[in-house]
Structure 1
């Protein structure tokens, strides 16, 4: 895939700020001047979700893909799409069922923006999502807009927590027991922006995980274009 891609960890900034204010500059750069078709399928109330995002991104022209008579046909020729967050399994289930997944796979020139679950959809698979599998999506393969994996909403270990379940790092290490593809843990407020053959981290720090290697910290502004190199995963 050669189309430009913007992958946000989250839509809601901390502290009660308006949605997307933390990433407004890069969103305007990435989507400005284009009709943006919004995919609300990760949440149950499609109309309310579209209205919320359209207000937040105004004056960008954000239109509801779910209201199109043939969403797949519209996606196949779209100049830009924004895929919202929610449940990744619900999202993949619906875009596959509607033919939108295949339509986007064939539309290389489309500018893709994802937030949270929408970021998961851009990856080779949804295997690094945090979400509960509330529905069988008919397979875990996703869009492959980028050849690496992302873990949105990445959380560091809280030494004061009494939680006894796996940390995010432990879950990603489990992923690497069976897969070789790198995983970028995107902390809140962070994003990855692909323009052509360049990928840059913005907004906040991130953590990079590779099989059989110790994780490394990535600072905002880091060029991670080498992640576009083909990687084998099982």
Structure 2
């Protein structure tokens, strides 16, 4: 069994940067260490698969990586089985998960990443589906997957695009923290809030926060904890 190699971004866009530019150094390091030449991109989270794949290709090609869209492959399962690396982009998490189930890709991707060590990159919705379930997505349920259970490449949930409550706002309605804590009340599972510009790097049994901002960990029956960049979050991988 090979060690898992997973890079989970909060988002592919950060203010002041071009697409994926904020994570360029970390992504190149992640892929080059694993001798990746071709990236299999899964664009199912957005409606226009061609346009989305072209955007990723335009970004990664100058960095030295060939991009292939899974939607162009006559046999998606075979394409995943032959992939050097898998990248699932952002968009609508419900649409994405439904497509993965419709094409019977969940067990194949899971086996390739967890058993064969194929590198996995996720962004936003692609990060959501890498976790236990998509319960903690921010997206609207515009499609209906057969279950909220996801790839389970990591044994906890993530909330990408995490936003802190704004104490100065005149709006006193529900906050992101309240929604996450509601999930925890029912499921008793940890949720990692990834702020924009951050990502989680998983290498085997080691998980490290990367980026230039803190991440916020929500735990059952405890106050949330902030972790600084480069924090060791490996203990989360031991959760069942």
Secondary structure at the counterpart of residue 202 of structure 1? strand
Does residue 117 (structure 1) correspond to residue 125 (structure 2)? The answer is yes
Deviation at 1:206, TM superposition (A): 0.7
- Provide the rounded CA distance (Å) in 2 between the counterparts of 1:21 and 1:179: 35
- Provide the rounded CA distance (Å) in 2 between the counterparts of 1:164 and 1:42: 32
Equivalent in the alignment of 1:169: 177
Equivalent in the alignment of 1:37: 40
Q: Which moved more, 1:68-77 or 1:41-50?
A: 68-77
- Provide the rounded CA distance (Å) in 2 between the counterparts of 1:165 and 1:37: 41
Secondary structure at the counterpart of residue 7 of structure 1? strand
Q: What is the TM-score normalised by the length of structure 1?
A: 0.94
Equivalent in the alignment of 1:25: 25
Equivalent in the alignment of 2:230: 221
Secondary structure at the counterpart of residue 199 of structure 1? strand
Deviation at 1:79, TM superposition (A): 2.4
In the TM superposition, what are the counterparts of 1:25-104 in structure 2 within 5 Å?
25-32=25-32, 33-34=35-36, 35-58=38-61, 59-104=64-109
- Provide the rounded CA distance (Å) in 2 between the counterparts of 1:71 and 1:31: 22
Contact kept, 8 Å, 1:182 with 1:211, in 2: the verdict is yes
Secondary structure at the counterpart of residue 208 of structure 1? strand
1:52-84 C-alpha deviation (Å, 9 max, x unpaired): 011112221221111000112211332210000
* CA pair 160-98 structure 1, distance change in 2 beyond 3 A: same
Deviation at 1:164, TM superposition (A): 4.4
Q: Tell me the number of residue pairs that the alignment of Structure 1 and Structure 2 aligns.
A: 230
Aligned-pair Cα RMSD in Å: 1.3
1:105-147 C-alpha deviation (Å, 9 max, x unpaired): 2213221100000000100111110111001111101000001
Deviation at 1:14, TM superposition (A): 0.9
Q: What is the TM-score normalised by the length of structure 2?
A: 0.92
Deviation at 1:162, TM superposition (A): 3.5
Q: Which moved more, 1:217-226 or 1:104-113?
A: 104-113
Structure 2: unaligned runs, 5 residues or longer: none
Equivalent in the alignment of 2:151: 143
Secondary structure at the counterpart of residue 217 of structure 1? strand
Structure 1: unaligned runs, 5 residues or longer: none
Contact kept, 8 Å, 1:96 with 1:102, in 2: the verdict is no
- Provide the rounded CA distance (Å) in 2 between the counterparts of 1:61 and 1:193: 22
